[in-house]
Chain A
């Protein structure tokens, strides 16, 4: 595995969320924040260009839907909402990215100290060489 095969986190998160079903941009942002307890935020400044890029690569596809407020005039036109869904190509990309991510995480884990062992810095130079 090379470094270039590791997936970008934002792309992996978006493709994973869309694998569950179709969603729109703001919905993706809220779900990402909800699942990470607010630790992860897909800012709209990064999310929407990413969606545009993924759509350009045909990894996702979009459809438009008209929305109206409950008190809006039935005759008046509503706003447009753009829904995204995962394409077969995107699904394959997701599977490949998940595999690569897990492999990369495993490699990283092999270098990281376990949680119950003190770090090398805590023991000083005598405890082992630098990696």
Chain B
């Protein structure tokens, strides 16, 4: 078998082989010149024999491969590593180094055969191209021969009829034979065509295999695409769901923000309100402290005032007739009787109204002598001397000035009965003052008022002419009446009783008003007043609703 001879290049002989790579399958494809010697320098020097053997063999083999330089460099590098690995294994098993290399190279076989196999592996399409060219050439030759045969047949017979045999080469009807030149060619055509058809069949089979493989790949790709579509659909559904959830979450977040803002406003308002309340509470506490201090001061002042208040003594009214009677003198020179005294009195004062019926009702013996000191004495003194013999105060003689200015002599009882008057006393100020002083609740006003009225009734009926007041059973022999309605006292009594009642009320007001009540205490910023003045605008004055003048 003839081997293509290709001498190693001078480069590979003169220096360590350098690997050049230009495609991704070559070692370190990114590097054009790797600069990597396959044999390190120290090995090259120490094992020159080994290097020469391997290098020579590789140079020969690679030189026979028709391929780009980088392709050949890659083949060389791979085979060299194989040879060295294999030789090392041989050495491990006890074979010498030279023998190991020889065995490793021997296993690779004939360099030419290996190069041929490499060539077939690298350029498989080369054969196909040859086969295709052969097929086309054969078909072209067959057409040319067929045309030539037809042309020769039509030219030889001149009839134009007849047909050429399909592959037998014999004429079918004309009786003429092929020329000596075309006959062997036509005879060779079936064999060429058969070879071409066979090559075409092989190629068709190869193409069909590739086509089937491509179809399988396409089918798998479609399946993968369908799976990806389903996955994409699921992903879209999940995205939509997430978007819906996101929208819902955003809505809830907005609501939460609004709620938070509202709560914030409420909190701020509450804090402001709390701050205001704290300020007001602080002010109230300060005011309370001031008031407490003031109350203490006022209480102390009240105690001092109570201690310093002088005792009040009631002074009964003096009838204006007393002064007149004091100026009228009478001379007592002998024993005198009440009747004699009245006559002298009328002599001195002719307008004197002597109410004999009342005087007689007293039971005084009018004609009996009266023990009156002899001498000159005033008329008022004379009446006092006469009264010393009368034990009952109601029966004592009195002189009173009547409405027309004249004088009247009668008994005290008679005058009181004729001097009755109805007076309404408004004591609501006393009731309120009593209520506030005890700090009772407002709803208890009625009971407080009742208590005050009861107390006032007790005070008046016990200290002011106790003998004139009718009892609850209706003692008609008494002429004084006492009623309490809506904070007022409605009293029917003689004038001298009204005088004393009015004095008592004035005294009560003076005592009560001297004690400050809470309502009198000033609000912050107001001027403080110690107490109400007696007889102010709120003080009730006796009102003579209906004065009965029985003159």
Query: Which residues of the other chain, A, contact B102 by a CB distance below 8 angstroms?
Result: none
- Distance, CA A62 to CA B75, complexed state (A): 12
Given the complex of chains A and B, what is the CA–CA distance between A82 and B75 in angstroms? 10
With A52-B75, A56-B122, A82-B77 as contacts: A76 and B41 at CB distance below 8 Å: yes
Q: How far is the CA of A64 from the CA of B217 in the complex (A)?
A: 29
Contact status A48-B79, CB under 8 Å = yes
**Contacting residues, chain B, for A80 (C-beta < 8 A):** 19, 27, 36, 38, 77-78, 81
Contact A79 B25 (CB under 8 A): no
Is A96 an interface residue when CB atoms closer than 8 A count as contact? yes
Inter-chain CA distance A50–B122, complex, in Å, is 10
Evaluate contact between B27 and A48: CB separation under 8 angstroms: no
Which residue of chain B has its CB nearest to the CB of A50? B121
Contact call B216/A79, Cβ cutoff below 8 A = no
Stretch of B109-117, B265-273, B446-454 contacting A (4+ beta carbons < 8 Å): B109-117
- Contact check, A46 vs B117: say whether CB atoms are below 8 A apart: yes
Q: How far is the CA of A72 from the CA of B43 in the complex (A)?
A: 9
- Nearest-neighbor residue (CB-CB) of A25 within chain B: B82
Tell me whether A72 and B81 are in contact (CB under 8 A): no
User: B118 near A81 (CB under 8 angstroms)?
Assistant: no
A67: B residues at CB distance < 8 A: 81
Chain A proximity of B352: nearest CB distance (Å): 160
A126 to B42, CA, bound (A): 75
Q: Decide yes or no whether A119 CB sits under 8 A from chain B.
A: no
**A45, CB-defined interface residue at 8 Å:** yes
Q: Which of B198-241 contact A (CB under 8 A)?
A: 205, 209, 213, 216-217, 220
Whether B381 sits at the interface, judged by CB under 8 Å, is: no
Is there contact, CB below 8 Å, between B209 and A4?
yes
Most chain A CB within 10 A, of B25, B75, B120, B213, is at B25
Whether A53 pairs with B124 at a CB distance below 8 angstroms is: yes
| Given A48-B118, A56-B124, A82-B27: A43 and B107 interface contact (C-beta under 8 Å) | yes
> Which residues of chain A are near B209, meaning CB under 8 Å?
4-5
Task: Collect the chain B residues with CB atoms within 8 Å of residue A109's CB.
Answer: none
Q: Mark A38-76, 1 if CB is under 8 A from B, else 0.
A: 000001111011101101100000101011000011001
Tell me how far the C-beta of B47 lies from the nearest C-beta in chain A, rounded to whole angstroms: 13
Q: Check A72/B113 contact, CB under 8 A, given A44-B82, A92-B216.
A: no
Knowing A53-B124, A56-B121, A79-B38, say if A48 contacts B25 (CB, 8 Å). no
Q: Nearest Cβ in chain B — how far from A82, in angstroms? A: 5
Cα–Cα distance between A97 and B19 once the two chains are bound (Å): 36
* Cβ < 8 Å to A, chain B residues 339-359: none
Within 8 A of B (CB), among A80-96: 80-82, 92-93, 96
A52 to B37 Cα, complex, angstroms = 23
A104 within 8 A of B: no
Residue B40, interface by CB 8 Å: yes
**Interface membership of chain B positions 94-137, coded 1 if the CB is closer than 8 angstroms to chain A and 0 otherwise:** 00000000000001111001100110111010000000000000
Q: B74 at the A/B interface (Cβ < 8 Å)? A: yes
Which of B's residues lie within 8 Å of A, judged by CB?
A: 19, 25-28, 35-38, 40-42, 74-75, 77-82, 84-86, 107-110, 113-114, 117-118, 120-122, 124, 205, 209, 213, 216-217, 220
Jot down 10 A-B pairs with beta carbons below 8 A, ordered by A. A26-B86, A44-B109, A45-B110, A52-B121, A52-B122, A53-B124, A56-B124, A79-B81, A82-B78, A92-B217
Binding site for B on A (CB under 8 A): 4-5, 24-26, 43-46, 48-50, 52-53, 55-56, 62, 64, 66-67, 72-73, 76-82, 92-93, 96
Given A53-B120, A82-B81; 9 other pairs, CB 8 A cutoff? A26-B82, A45-B109, A53-B121, A66-B36, A67-B81, A76-B40, A80-B19, A92-B216, A96-B216
